[in-house]
Amino acid sequence: MERRELVQILAAVPALAQSGRPHQPRFFTPDEYELLDSLTDALIPTGPGSPGARAANVGYYIDTVLLYAPKQTQQSWREGLGGMRALGLPPERAMEKLASTEAAPSTPVERFFVMFKRMTVEAFCHAEIAQREFFHYKGNHAVREFPGCGG
């Protein structure tokens, strides 16, 4: 896949995700997608000042990226989600456990968590709802002064 193709695909994700229809996973199986959605929501939950991963359609973003990813990357995600499921923990507890080993991951599921977290945060940051509600982005416009800068 050409870089240009990937940029076009990723540019289309927010518009497609806001269509109002439930997402039908294209890469993940429905069970894998349900697990992914639960895990991303546990990592970035809805709360005061944050729309959360589910509202930001993080699962949709990841599903779309992986649909076009190399086979090796796709296999890593399938195995990683399988490893997370094998932990047998509720999503919130799994995130706590794996985050505690993030600095020095030693098992395949711990190494997957690092990749999973990076992609989840990336997807969240790209979402329009997160930019507005979490980052308080107001759009591109000129400002006359920057109150926090200078004296």
pLDDT tens digits along 96-132: 999 999 999 999 999 999 999 999 988 888 877 666 6
The structure tokens listed for 85 are 């499921």
Estimate to the nearest angstrom the gap between the alpha carbon of 113 and the chain centroid. 12
The residue ranking higher by pLDDT, 72 or 6, is: 72
DSSP the chain: --HHHHHHHHHHHHHHHTSSSPP--SSS-HHHHHHHHHHHHHHS--BTTB-HHHHTTHHHHHHHHHHTS-HHHHHHHHHHHHHHHHT---HHHHHHHHHTTTTS--SHHHHHHHHHHHHHHHHHHH-HHHHHHTS----S---S--TTS--
Contact 91, 36 (CB under 8 A): no
Question: Mean pLDDT for the chain?
Answer: 84
CA-CA distance, 114 to 112, in Å (whole number)? 5
pLDDT confidence of residue 132: 66
Q: How many CB atoms lie within 10 A of CB 138?
A: 9
**3 state SS of 47:** strand
Note the pTM of the prediction, 2 decimals: 0.77
